[in-house]
Amino acid sequence: MYSHLRDDFPTLRGEQPPAYLDNACVTLKPDSVINSISDYYSMYPGCGGRSVHRYGTQVSRLVAQSRQTIAKFINANSVNEVVFTRNATHSINQIAKGISWQKGDVIVTGDREHNSNLVPWLQLVEEKGVEHRIVKSNPDNTFNVENFEQVCEDVGERLKLVSFSHVGNLDGISVPIKKIAKITHEYDALIAVDGAQSTPHMRVDVQDLDIDFISFSIHKMCGPSGMGGLWGRYELLESLRSIQSGGQTVQTSHYDSVKWAAPPSKFEGGLGNFAGMIASGEAIDYLSKLDMNAVHEHEIRLNSIITNKIKHLDSIKIIGPEDAKQRGGICSILMGDLPSHDIAILLDEAANVMVRSGQHCVHSWFNAHGHSNGSLRASAYFYNTEEDANLFADTFTEAVEAFG
Ligand SMILES: Cc1ncc(COP(=O)(O)O)c(C=O)c1O
């Protein structure tokens, strides 16, 4: 469906391009993104936001444009609600360490969270006496609304914040964020969304979802590595403490006091990754030209091909419901006693298929379920083809039969 776009990606143009199915980790980059990085270094390698010479002014202009593109992509109310960060992990840490916590406040997450949406909250438990409650999923890993409502009811007004991954990197399953936001707000609590696996793959409208914060990984959206984003409602960002104070974060300072800059500047301390910020805008501009609902459908179609071809294999089990519609573009496979890393290496070396193996930073789920071997995960994006899906499924089947 998007095969014509494959030519935009240097790694897909060669004689034998890989079936790159590790998109939940990091995506490939189109020429426009790569070129914008080298344009910064070769044509205007200056400092945005401060220097007023031509280089500085050009960088300031391009960074502002990039922020605007991102704001539009997620339907932010204002461009000033978009903060550049290093990655989604940095964004979540900014929320966790920026909120003012009281002992006994409660933070709620799911039971299949990436470490980046678990460890910052556990740190608050250790350091601030905050309580952490987990909402148990259904046996097939889908969201259980009743369990969430019960947790909220149990903790009542002590509920301060809920933070869920919109789409799990473990299994591709989405949670009903709009419904969760409604319930959360009934308790006057805040909702933060880990959008690392949703913003690249589906239409995400922060106003329609009625959420308070969302964190995302621009490197999973065709953008440069080392770039992420944080969106928050402006009035919440105004009251959030910056975890990266210093140059750029104040209007002025005296020997004994500071006058903070307004968001987003107050969170972007120090000289920024300007090449990364500008290239982020190029990446989101690239995605803005796609129909994100169609991207999602395309990924499900590829996942269905994979699922139908491998589901009969005895020694493995797909995590989550069998229906690929409920798992987006992610097929995460429990390997039993089979050597998942060896099989991942074999797929790469013998068949030119790239996937991920291991616990995908969701150790808590694998530990709780006794699957220390982790899983082998194939994750699709718009540039993947049916041939990629078939090649993975066929060679994976051969490998499982050979090792089994
Ligand atoms: C669901 C989820 N949350 C958070 C992260 C962390 O993202 P980043 O590497 O941008 O910090 C990831 C990365 O894989 C993820 O999949």
Mutate to test the pocket of ligand 1, among 113, 116, 225 (most ligand atoms within 8 A of CB): 116
* pTM for the full predicted model: 0.97
Does residue 217 line the site of ligand 1, with CB under 6 A? yes
Proportion of the chain in helix, strand, coil states, percent, rounded to 5: 45, 15, 40
Q: What is the DSSP string of 198-234?
A: TTTTS---HHHHT-SEEEEEGGGTT--TT-EEEEE-H
Centre of ligand 1 to C-alpha 11, Å, is 23
Q: Do 3-27+291-403 and 44-288 have matching folds? A: no
Give domain 44-288's CATH architecture: 3-Layer(aba) Sandwich (3.40)
Does residue 194 line the site of ligand 1, with CB under 6 A? yes
Atom of ligand 1 nearest to the CA of 87: 10
Find the catalytic residue in 152, 222, 331, 361. 361
Residue of the CA atom closest to atom 16 of ligand 1: 169
Does residue 379 line the site of ligand 1, with CB under 6 A? no
Does residue 224 line the site of ligand 1, with CB under 6 A? no
The full length of the chain comes to: 404
Longest distance between any two alpha carbons in the chain, whole Å: 70
| The token pair that represents 32 in the structure block | 């426009």
pLDDT of residue 165: 98
Centre of ligand 1 to C-alpha 115, Å, is 8
Does residue 361 have an active-site annotation? Answer: yes
Return the sign of the alpha-carbon dihedral for residues 206, 211, 216, 221: negative
Number of other residues whose CB lies within 10 A of the CB of residue 251: 11
Beta strands in 288-370 (DSSP E): 317-318, 330-334, 353-354, 356-358
Centre of ligand 1 to C-alpha 46, Å, is 30
From residue 6, alpha-carbon distances to 27, 293, 356, 380 in Å are: 13, 19, 21, 14
d(CA 10, CA 332): 27
Centre of ligand 1 to C-alpha 114, Å, is 7
**Below-70 pLDDT ranges, the chain:** none
Domain boundaries, the chain: 3-27+291-403, 44-288
pLDDT of residue 146: 98
pLDDT of residue 121: 98
Does residue 109 line the site of ligand 1, with CB under 6 A? no
Does residue 117 line the site of ligand 1, with CB under 6 A? yes
Centre of ligand 1 to C-alpha 87, Å, is 8
Atom of ligand 1 nearest to the CA of 218: 10
Pairing state between β 356-358 and 375-379 = antiparallel
Give the CATH number of domain 3-27+291-403: 3.90.1150.10
Residue among 382, 338, 344 at smallest CA distance from 360: 344
d(CA 169, CA 362): 8
Does residue 163 line the site of ligand 1, with CB under 6 A? no
Residue of the CA atom closest to atom 15 of ligand 1: 196
Residue of the CA atom closest to atom 12 of ligand 1: 196
Does residue 202 line the site of ligand 1, with CB under 6 A? no
pLDDT of residue 49: 87
pLDDT of residue 290: 98
Does residue 22 line the site of ligand 1, with CB under 6 A? no
Centre of ligand 1 to C-alpha 219, Å, is 10
Does residue 114 line the site of ligand 1, with CB under 6 A? yes
> Which residues have CB under 8 Å from 274's CB, separation 6+?
40, 46, 47, 48, 59, 63
